[in-house]
């Protein structure tokens, strides 16, 4: 069986750990050359060495960092095919009246503005080439009302709207843009979310975890590999006519 992404160059933001690491791994397994972007240079270098990726540390909130990384990609590879906007933070788990303006701005800047900055640079290479795939990692929090997580929810709703707008704008250039909406993904991040949410609600962590599981019709959380598989599909030939979509991978969750 051949590699579906042979010869293609991808950038995964927040690619050095968690879901981003698994997405990077999956793209590499399909033959793509992956550039891994994350803020911590040591963690980024170590993760890239493990997977055989290219480490380019930087912050998605820095116009200078983003522009510099895309310039380096163009100089080194002379092409660019896939952008996965995965970098993000959970932000505070608190009632809206307790959320500070600084906390709100930090979540929006990283989760949404960072995706905009990267997409803006990616499009400059994709349009002339008349090809490309952009996958924005949103969340089920971008589809439902998510109490105690207002900045996060707003950023992920915004990601879906941004994806739809880009899809409409770039369709004439053969660039497909979609958002992927994970439900609760097993791993360190959901563990932190559960801990913080339990503290904000003054309930046991086991109760919050149980709520997530019960809210999914399959009665389980999803795996990082489930999300990675969809990203690979959207970036391959199977995704050639899929654009402007918000695709839920949530085990049928309504939470």
Distance of CA 22 to the CA centre of its chain: 11
**What does DSSP assign to residue 237?**
G
How far is 255 from 216, CA to CA, in rounded Å?
Answer: 8
The per-residue b/e assignment along 59-98, b for 16 or more CB within 10 angstroms, e otherwise, is bbbeeebbeebbeebeeebebbbbbbbbbbbbbbbbeeee
Burial class of residue 130 (count of CB atoms within 10 Å of its CB; 0-12, 13-18, 19+): exposed
152 labelled catalytic: yes
**In Å, how far are 113, 123, 173, 239 from 169, measured between CA atoms?**
18, 10, 9, 18
Question: For residues 114 and 86, is the Cβ–Cβ distance under 8 A?
Answer: no
DSSP one-letter string for 118-157: HHHHHHHHHHHHT-EEEEEE--GGGTS--TT-HHHHHHHH
- Name the active-site residue from 152, 173, 212, 254: 152
- Residues with a known catalytic role: 152
């Amino acid at each position: 069986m051949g590699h579906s992404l042979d010869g293609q160059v991808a950038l995964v933001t927040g690619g050095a750990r968690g879901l981003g690491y698994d997405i990077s791994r999956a793209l590499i397994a399909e033959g793509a050359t992956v550039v891994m972007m994350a803020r911590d240079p040591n963690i980024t270098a170590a993760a890239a060495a493990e997977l055989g990726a290219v480490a380019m540390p930087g912050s998605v909130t820095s116009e200078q960092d983003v522009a510099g990384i895309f310039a380096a990609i163009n100089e080194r590879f002379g092409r660019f095919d896939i952008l996965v906007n995965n970098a993000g933070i959970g932000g505070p788990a608190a009632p809206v009246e307790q959320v500070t303006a600084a906390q709100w701005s930090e979540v929006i800047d990283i989760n949404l503005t960072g995706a905009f900055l990267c997409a803006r640079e990616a499009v400059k290479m994709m349009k002339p080439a008349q090809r490309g795939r952009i996958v924005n990692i949103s969340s089920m929090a971008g589809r439902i009302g998510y109490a105690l997580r207002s900045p996060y929810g707003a950023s992920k709703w915004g990601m879906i709207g941004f994806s739809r707008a880009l899809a409409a704008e770039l369709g004439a250039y053969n660039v497909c843009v979609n958002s992927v909406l994970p439900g609760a993904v097993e791993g360190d991040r959901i563990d932190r979310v559960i801990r913080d949410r339990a503290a904000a609600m003054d309930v046991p962590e086991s109760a919050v975890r149980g709520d997530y599981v019960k809210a999914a019709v399959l009665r389980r959380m999803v795996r990082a590999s489930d999300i990675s598989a969809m990203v690979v599909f959207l970036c391959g030939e199977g995704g050639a006519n899929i654009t402007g979509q918000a695709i839920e991978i949530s085990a049928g969750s309504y939470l």
